[in-house]
Amino acid sequence: MKNIVIKCETLENTKKLAKNFARLVNNKGCFVNLFGDIGAGKTAFVRLTAEALGVKEKVTSPSFVILNEYHSANIPIYHFDLYRLEHTGISTITDELREYSEGKKITFVEWAEFSQGELPFERIEINVTYDDDDSRIYEFKSIGENNKYIIEGLNQCGY
């Protein structure tokens, strides 16, 4: 199983989804690409996952600073937002991104569609779409074999 689509009709549902996701990635870590329009719910998912993992600091959007990192949970968390870099800028940090995909850490990357072809590593892609008001659709896809267990785990918990 490589894909799962989960509808979150409220922010509370997204919180439950993030909790389940956090439990699944807590041991091994994961490299996660998030796609979706402005305001879809990419940062909201990262924030809720980081909180579920035990991050103590306030989790904010890294859109101006490009990278936020959190070291107060039992696994390090890195959160990139590449929106401001645009196409050419992103190709200059591909090697750095690759390093963030290795070892026991969780790395989230928003707005990486610019560099899709340059991200060959094992990862989870999350596509977020706005449904209406507080309803959002989260689609999870495993790229490569290593993260299929996450999709299967999410399938078992429902949210």
Ligand X SMILES: Nc1ncnc2c1ncn2[C@@H]1O[C@H](COP(=O)(O)OP(=O)(O)OP(=O)(O)O)[C@@H](O)[C@H]1O
Residue 60 CA to residue 10 CA, distance in Å, equals 20
Nearest to 26 by CA among 77, 59, 75, 78: 75
CB of 119 to ligand X, least distance (A): 18
- By a kind-dependent CB cut-off of 5 to 8 A, residue 11 interacts, out of ligand X, Mg ion, none, with ligand X
CB of 134 to ligand X, least distance (A): 4
Q: Select the residue interacting with ligand X from 18, 40, 50, 53 (CB under 6 A).
A: 40
Token duo for residue 27: 């041991």
User: Does 43 interact with ligand X (rule: CB under 6 A)?
Assistant: yes
Q: Which residue's CB is nearer to ligand X, number 39 or number 103?
A: 39
- By a kind-dependent CB cut-off of 5 to 8 A, residue 62 interacts, out of Mg ion, ligand X, none, with none
Q: Which residue's CB is nearer to Mg ion, number 6 or number 41?
A: 41
Residues 102/158/131/14 CA torsion (nearest 10 deg): -60
| Residue 14 main-chain phi, psi, to 5 deg | -65, -35
CB of 97 to ligand X, least distance (A): 18
Residue 48 CA to residue 59 CA, distance in Å, equals 9
